[in-house]
Structure 1
Amino acid sequence: MDIKTKDYSVCYDTTTWTVDWQGSLRLSGSDEYAPIVDLLEQVTESQPPSITLNLRHLEFLNSSGISMLSKFVIKVRQKKNISVVVQGSQKIPWQGKSLKNLQRLMPTLKLELE
């Protein structure tokens, strides 16, 4: 399951249960984020024991994207049988503050900032 454009890519590795994000996501609104939401829903429906979101190479995510990620974390939290690991980079300014907020939504979420 991959989504690739000239600006960004979101790719799911079924062997490691990892969603790799790269580039810059500046989409406007939930309609444009729908393909990514669909990919994340497919990942969740496959019931992996853990889902890793590797955001280390995602240079930019706008407020619509942060909202989409937050909704995903809330959905997974309700499942109770899937753990979430979010990998980020302290070198990318938006990640430090925004990714910590995901832990507030799901206290069991493991945040790895390098």
Structure 2
Amino acid sequence: MEIKTEDYGICYDPSTATVSFIGSLRLSRPQEYAPIVQLLEEVADLAPAKITLNLQQLEFLNSSGINMLSKFIIAVRKKARVQMAVQGSQCIAWQGKSVKNFQRLMPSLQFELL
């Protein structure tokens, strides 16, 4: 599973159950996030023991993107048997503030800034 555009790339590695985000997600409407939501839902439907979102190379994510990831985390939280981890970068300012808020949505979420 992979999505590639000029501005961003998202790929799923089934061997580690990791979804990696690269580039800049500046989509203007929530509807434009539909292909990404579909990819994330497909990953969740596989029901791995743990899903990791690797955001280390995601330079920018607008509020619609943060909302999309928040909804995904809530959906995973409802599947009580699936754990969640988010990896971010200390070098990208928005991640320290915004991504840490995901833990409020799912207290068991593991968050690490690398």
TM-score (normalised: structure 1):
0.99
Shift of 1:46: 0.6
Q: Report what 2:48 is aligned to.
A: 48
For 1:104, give the aligned amino acid: R
Residues 48-91 of structure 1 deviation map (CA, whole Å, 9 limit, x = unaligned):
10000000000000000000000000000000000001000111
How do residues 8-19 of structure 1 correspond to structure 2 at under 5 angstroms? 8-19=8-19
Residue 5 of structure 1 and its aligned partner are, at CA, apart by 0.4
C-alpha distance in structure 2 between counterparts of 1:48 and 1:30, whole Å: 26
2:66 alignment partner in structure 1: 66
Distance 1:28 1:69 in 2: 15
Partners of 1:48 and 1:29 lie apart in 2 by 30
Q: How many residues align?
A: 114
Name the residue aligned to 1:38.
38
1:1-114 equivalence runs, <5 A: 1-114=1-114
Query: Stretches of 4+ moved more than 2 A in 1?
Result: none
Gaps of 5+ in 1: none
| Equivalent position amino acid for 2:72 in 1 | F
The CA distance in 2 between the partners of 1:9 and 1:44, in whole Å, is 19
Shift of 1:29: 1.8
What value does the CA root-mean-square deviation take over the aligned residues?
0.5
Looking at structure 1, the residues matched to 29 and 91 of structure 2 have their Cα atoms a distance apart, in angstroms, of 26
1:40 maps to amino acid: L
The CA distance in 2 between the partners of 1:29 and 1:41, in whole Å, is: 19
